[in-house]
Amino acid sequence: MSGLDFVDLTQIDSDTDSHSCENDDLYIIDVKIPRKRVKTEHIDDLRSESNACIESIAAPTSAYTEVTGIPNMLMVLTEGRGIASEIAFCLFNLATSQCMLSQFADSASYSRTIYAIVTSRPQVIFVPKAMAEGKSKAMLNIRKYLPWLTVVSFERKRFNDSEGYNVLQNIAIPSQAIQLTRVLHTKQYAYAALNALFYYLEHDLEITISSGSVNVTYKQMEGAMQIDPGAWRDLGLENNDEENSKKTPSLFSSINHTKTKMGARLLRSNILQPSTDLSTIYARQNAVLEILDNEKLFFFLSTQLAEFPDIDATITSLIRLPNAVTSRQINQAINNVLQVKHILQMTIKLSAGINIELRILKNIARNLFDKVTQEVVELVEQYSNEIQVPIKAVYKPSTGYIMSAKIEALGDTIPEEFVNVVIKKSVVTFTTLELAIKNNRTTFTTCTDFNTILCRAIQDVASVIRENIVLLYRVSEAIALLDMIVSFACHCTLHDCVVPEFSDSISIIDGRHPILETLGREVVPNNVNTTAATFTIVSGPNMGGKSTYLRQIIYIVIMAQIGSLVPAQSAKLKVFDKLFVRMNNNDNLPASESTFLREMHDIAYILQNYDKHSLLLIDELGRSTATIEGTAICRAICEELIESSATVFLTTHFLELCEILGLHTNCNCISLSAVVS
């Protein structure tokens, strides 16, 4: 597949300009009274303490050269407990009292996480104890590529997202708290990291920071569209409840034709964080077209991908080794190793090593069993010679070895040392105390020796796997990407789609709603054009399709920016960096917000964060208050947005807005009609 280029996401350019910092013996925390001086020796001592917390793993090579940490820069890093790679961090500068939060879905190689660490250059990183003990896939990659990094572990109880919410409300500048609460609505890991960091500041460094004094910001990772959390709720981009998704379909469920769990996770991650990199988008488009042009390749990939297990789950099972060695755990370890062999058949060295170890285990088991059998046979021959009766050794899995003889050979008298006598027809089975003891002793010795050798062999194989674990991560990434692209191709075989082009405006001809089309409903195609004006007012009767029209636009934009073909006759789109949506008109009782207040908070957040590369979808602004006030508010906000270069779609029932604002050269007014039958 020449059109599909797999890029090594771990090879990120780390050349950054060095920052000049003065290394003073003391630094001053720039916060409100009371001020407190803290010696930097406490932080410097963490480097020696971290050696006790985390065992250093030296890497032969590294994608990153060692960078000097910025003095007084602290980072708390945590990850989700599931298989999916959800990462959050809190970065705090002790010298400036500036705090930055971020939470994002990362790839299997954790390239975004590593890039964030390198670019932020923290002096020390704090992680939960579970991550520090080597049970984290993220930590394996961090140790691999950043072996020089100072890492210190915290107890898990410090990572409390509920307490993190209270910390944010207490320490953040009041004007930022409302916005951050909205942004962090679904970011519980970011809240947990925030709480852990400020717990460390208060209890370990004994730093007291006044309320409402910290500049807290939220950072969206580079190279992805920043989607307003309200859009996740209002647009139905994804649905975590599989059963409920059948009743309330989402964009994810409508275009998801993946065969593997890795592919499904990658598709979900891309829908929530569409790419803004045109080279990535074009590479995926070319790959989809190449698969569509080769029917044999399409069916071959679809069949083969279905055979892949969950590689991420396999990796998790491999790196989380149990402390106690049991037969069940050994069996699971063997299955994991065999599954790795199945996944990594192309890794000749690893596969050969696994074959050798398994052949050794079989030979060991056979030799131990033969040794036990020989000892039992010698004992039975001894009894046979003593009483001059032919006796045979019989093995049963439930009881081990027993002896048997013919009744007529024994006669009427059975020796007293023969116990557990069972007569079946003409055969008598029995055992002796000596044979029973030998059975128990040899069975225990055999199992113990075998388990010891087996455990050692499995550990050797696991060690080989860990040394090459980056290969497994890359295979997981490659399979997930390939599965997602094949899913795009599959969607095109079910629906009429076109390759989108990219320009400075939107021009869609006969665009269709992808969710409605997947449901099999009759879809009315619509045109969209922002070439002459970036601000569009959409009017029409109730149930006329205004909200559906807005959703259709954003669904097509997201599908285009994740590399998929789009449902339209032709499409020219703009690459957007941010998406803001205001479509929900419910109140918020827990926050004591009326419908109007919540609407004003949402609009205030949009006005403070949008730019010329943003896409704004606003549904019936001002309808939560009286008509006169609503019209005035809506007009004032519209006039502000019209003067900008942002792409805006606004639905309204205030028809006078079309008459007033329609005179502006950057405003386009359209009306949707409804057919009544």
Q: Same domain, yes or no, for 476 and 612?
A: no
Q: Which of 75-79, 520-524, 641-645 has the highest mean pLDDT?
A: 75-79
End-to-end CA distance of the chain: 51
Are residues 481 and 534 located together in one domain of the fold?
no
- Is residue 435 over pLDDT 70? yes
**Is the per-residue pLDDT at 443 higher than 80?**
no
Question: Residue 163 is part of a domain; what is its CATH number?
Answer: 3.30.420.110
| Sign, CA torsion 468/88/155/325 | negative
Among residues 428, 450, 467, the one where a domain terminates is 467
**pLDDT digits over 478-522, tens only?**
888 889 999 999 999 999 999 999 999 999 999 999 999 888 888
State what percent of residues in the chain have pLDDT above 70: 69
Cα–Cα–Cα angle for 353, 357, 359, rounded to 5 degrees: 120
Mean pLDDT of the 210-233 span: 74
Position 71 scores a pLDDT of 67
Q: Does residue 20 belong to any structural domain of this protein?
A: no
Domain presence at residue 5: no
Q: pLDDT tens for residues 323-364? A: 555 666 666 666 767 777 667 653 333 334 334 444 544 554
Give CA–CA dist 339/309, Å, rounded: 8
Whether residues 554 and 655 share a domain: the answer is yes
**CA gap 190, 593 in Å, rounded:** 24
Q: Which residue has the higher pLDDT, 586 or 268?
A: 268
Q: Which residue has the tokens 């140790």?
A: 143
Question: Are 406 and 430 part of one and the same domain?
Answer: yes
DSSP 373-414: HHHHHHHHHHHHHHHT---EEEEETTTEEEEEEEHHHH-S--
Same domain, 150 and 285: no
Q: Which amino acid is present at 574? A: K
Same domain assignment for residues 340 and 353 = no
Instruction: Look at residue 217 in the predicted model and tell me its pLDDT.
Output: 84
My answer on whether 487 and 518 are in the same domain is no
Residues in CB range of 424: below 8 A, 6 or more apart:
none
Confidence grade of residue 596 (pLDDT, cut at 50, 70, 90): confident
Q: 52 versus 634: which is more confidently predicted?
A: 634
Same domain, 488 and 555: no
pLDDT at 389 over 90: no
pLDDT at 61: 33
Greater pLDDT, 579 or 377: 579
pLDDT tens figures, 1-55: 333 333 333 333 333 333 333 333 322 233 332 333 334 445 555 544 444 343 3
Q: Where are the alpha helices (DSSP H) in 310-347?
A: 311-319, 327-343
Is there a domain that residue 249 lies in? Answer: no
Mean pLDDT of 411-421: 77
Predicted pLDDT of residue 65: 41
| Spatial CB neighbours of 85, under 8 Å, sequence gap ≥ 6 | 79, 105, 106, 107, 108, 110, 137, 138, 312
Q: Does the pTM exceed 0.85?
A: no
How many domains, the chain? 4
What is the reported pLDDT for 409? 77
Check if the beta carbon of residue 117 is closer than 8 Å to that of residue 108. no
In a domain, 6, yes or no: no
Burial class (CB in 10 A: 0-12, 13-18, 19+), 595: middle
pLDDT band at 451 (very low <50, low <70, confident <90, very high): low
- CA distances to 79, 153, 164, 472 from 188, in Å: 10, 20, 9, 29
**Does residue 12 sit within a domain?**
no
Please compute the mean of the pLDDT values over residues 94-108 and round it to a whole number: 80
Q: Is residue 14 part of a domain?
A: no
Sole residue written with tokens 């063997």:
334
Q: Report d(CA 510, CA 456) in Å as an integer.
A: 64
Structure tokens at 645: 């270069």
Q: Is residue 236 part of a domain?
A: no
Paired tokens of 376: 């039992």
Query: What 8-state DSSP symbol labels residue 92?
Result: E
Contact 251, 236 (CB under 8 A): yes
**What CATH number did the domain enclosing 474 receive?**
1.10.1420.10
Integer Cα distance of 356 and 353 in angstroms: 5
Q: What is the pLDDT of residue 366?
A: 55
250 falls in which pLDDT band (50, 70, 90)? confident
Rounded to an integer, what distance in angstroms lies between the CA atom of residue 331 and that of residue 667? 68
Cβ burial of 350 (10 Å; 0-12, 13-18, 19+) is buried
Lowest mean pLDDT among 46-60, 135-149, 542-556: 46-60
For all residues of the chain together, what is the average pLDDT? 75
Token pair for residue 417? 């040392």
| Domain extent at residue 459 | 348-467
pLDDT at 34: 32
What's the whole-number mean pLDDT along residues 299-311? 83
Which pair of structure tokens corresponds to residue 522?
């009759």
Of 229-233, 259-263, 441-445, 599-603, least confident by mean pLDDT is: 441-445
pLDDT confidence band for 197 (50 / 70 / 90)? very high
Are 571 and 526 within 8 A, CB to CB? no
Bigger pLDDT: 514 vs 56: 514
Look at the block and give the residue holding tokens 């994991």: 336
In a shared domain, residues 268 and 377: no
Q: Is 235 part of any domain?
A: no
Task: State residue 497's pLDDT score.
Answer: 94
Whose CA is closest to 418, among 409, 405, 372?
Answer: 405
Same domain, yes or no: 514 and 454? no
**Same-domain check for residues 341 and 289:** yes
Residue 573 has pLDDT above 70, yes or no: yes
Residue 553 has pLDDT above 50, yes or no: yes
What's the length of the chain? 677
Q: Judge if 65 and 214 occupy the same domain.
A: yes
Among residues 590, 575, 464, the alpha carbon closest in space to that of 165 is found at 590
Structure tokens at 148: 């020089």
- Tell me the mean pLDDT in the region 576-581: 88
Distance, CA of 211 to CA of 202 (rounded, Å): 13
Q: In the predicted model, is pLDDT for residue 556 greater than 70?
A: yes
19 vs 16, 70, 71, CA distance in Å?
9, 8, 10
